[in-house]
Structure 1
Amino acid sequence: MMEGDNQVNVHGMWASTYSKRVELALKLKGIHYEYVEEDLGNKSEALLKYNSAHKKVPVLVHNGKPLAESLVILEYIDEAWPNHFPRLLPEEPYQRAMVRFWASFLHNQLAQSLLKLFQCNGEAQDKALDELHEKMTLMEHRMTDFIPKDVSCIDKASLGLLDIQLISLFGAYKAREEVIGKKILDPEKHPLIFSWVTSLMNLPVVQESIPDHKKLVALIQMFIKAS
């Protein structure tokens, strides 16, 4: 298929960490796409058609064929455009499998712990934060093969699937910390993750993908009041 034949649309929501993963992957690979902002309170007919199973964002539509679930979409992007760099997953089978394992851990375990912080308060919130920090400690101890040894070497061309997920999970950590008044990303408790995230956040392509701080704070506050 010629590059000019590719039509790519992304149905997303401006504050969705899952949508941001997909957009960032496409930007890193230099793949042109059209973005469709969805109102999740009044979902479009297109979204309901393309993701009839879950009716959620993100949805990637490539030449009329829809795909849902952010991790599935990220792997598809890597396979559908193999000559666009960077490659999001390693070529070596074991390393590829391990990246998938940790990608699943971040997607399920860490994301759920972050969400819990905003669904409770008081002692329950402190417990949720402890749970999150325990999982981050596990990451620092077990993800040594994937945490950059020299964060100064991080650049656009070196990013992969785990970097993208880390950005989507922690890219807006300052807004979250402002709302709950607690330290989520602590350089003393988790220096490796903090350095990794900080270096990623300094990349221009990443800064472009982070939602507006004030808008995000307002949205989080509204979410807490509604929960």
Structure 2
Amino acid sequence: MAGGGDELKLLGMWASPFVLRVRLALSFKGLSYKYVEEDLRNKSDLLLSSNPTNKKVPVLIHNGKPICESQIIVQYIDEAFSSTSPALLPADPYERSLVRFWAAFIDDKLLTTWLETSKAKTEEEKVEGLKETFAAFETLEAAFKECSMGKPFFGGDSVGYLDITFGGLLAFVHAAEARHGIRFVDASRCPLLANWVERFGELDATKAVMPDISRLVDYANTREAKAAAADASN
């Protein structure tokens, strides 16, 4: 629970992996907060005033002060509520730099490559994109081995910053697998990550905030159909 006098409000959108990342951090920390669902086609005055630069979710408002960008918010939560277990970031400066490096890899390489592949126009682009996406997951497999040191989570014995960072993508990986029939985290290529996916998904704090996969599939299919219709009319 948030400490006395702490007021937390999260501005989000249910189908955002970045919002889910923050909700996971709050869930694992056991912090109570008010969740405000935003209509991104008609953004609230509160969102626009809280994040006037990017006008995006998530935004965490702590005692009236807004914090933006998911990775920054998760770090803030860990620092502002440092007395609340688990600690998400390591205490050792080198280990902390290591998990920040891999968190940047998840967003800048793995997620970016995956999204670009989903937008591929030709079969050749799709094949090349999938090759790069699988390679990124295999690199993350090696990172798990390095960071976990043979323990259950990226954070070791308990969930840490990288578990939260990658965990925010987990529902969307499952939805993409359901839509396209492709196993992105396949036990034959990434056995450690595949085991982690099962382990992380079974935690109560994960289940408490994870969106429904079928709803995500329907949402993605609807968006794709609307985009295709818009392209056809141009």
TM-score, normalisation: structure 2? 0.89
Match in the other structure for 1:63: 63
Q: Secondary structure at the match of 2:199?
A: helix
Pairwise mapping of residues 98-177 of structure 1 onto structure 2 (< 5 A)?
Answer: 98-121=98-121, 122-147=123-148, 149-151=150-152, 158-177=158-177
Q: For the residues of structure 1 that align with 2:5 and 2:60, how far apart are their CA atoms?
A: 16
Q: Deviations over 1:110-133 (max 9, x none)?
A: 111221232125332222111111
Shift of 1:143: 4.1
Taking the aligned partners of 1:80 and 1:174, their CA distance within structure 2 comes to 32
Amino acid at match of 1:207: K
Q: How is 1:78-93 mapped onto 2 (pairs within 5 angstroms)?
A: 78-93=78-93
Offset, 1:180: 2.1
Q: Take 1:147 and 1:123, find their aligned partners in 2: how far apart are those partners?
A: 36
Percent identical? 38
Report the alpha carbon displacement of residue 183 of structure 1 after superposing the two structures with TM: 2.2
- Which shows bigger deviation, 56-65 or 122-131? 122-131
Any runs of at least 4 consecutive aligned residues in structure 1 with deviations exceeding 4 A, and if so which? Answer: none
5+ residue gaps in structure 1? none
- Contact kept, 8 Å, 1:119 with 1:224, in 2: the verdict is no
Task: Give the aligned residue type for 2:178.
Answer: E
Cα separation, partners in 2 of 1:83 and 1:150, compared to 1, 3 Å = closer
> Counterpart of 2:73 in 1: which secondary structure?
helix
Aligned residue for 1:42, secondary structure, equals coil
Structural mapping, 1:1-227, within 5 Å: 3-121=3-121, 122-147=123-148, 149-151=150-152, 158-225=158-225, 226=227
> Are the aligned partners of 1:129 and 1:184 in contact in 2 as well (CA < 8 Å)?
no
Whole-angstrom distance in 1 between the partners of 2:28 and 2:181: 33
Q: State the secondary structure of the residue aligned to 2:35.
A: strand
What do the CA deviations read for 1:150-202 (whole angstroms, capped 9, x no partner)?
Answer: 43x899x8111100112112233222112123222211111111111111011
Q: Structure 2: how far apart are the matches of 1:25 and 1:142?
A: 21
Mapped to 1, the partners of 2:217 and 2:142 lie a distance apart of 31
Q: What is the SS of the residue equivalent to 2:147?
A: coil
Q: Which residue of 1 aligns with 2:231?
A: none
Equivalent residues of 2:58, 2:70 under 8 A apart: yes
Q: How big is the shift at 1:47? A: 0.5
Kindly state the Cα deviation for residue 215 of structure 1 after the two structures are TM-superposed: 1.1
Name the CA distance, whole Å, in 1 between partners of 2:39 and 2:179.
Answer: 23
Which amino acid in 1 is paired with 2:169?
L
In structure 2, relative to structure 1, the CA distance for the partners of 1:69 and 1:118 (3 Å cut) is same
**SS at 1:61 equivalent:** strand
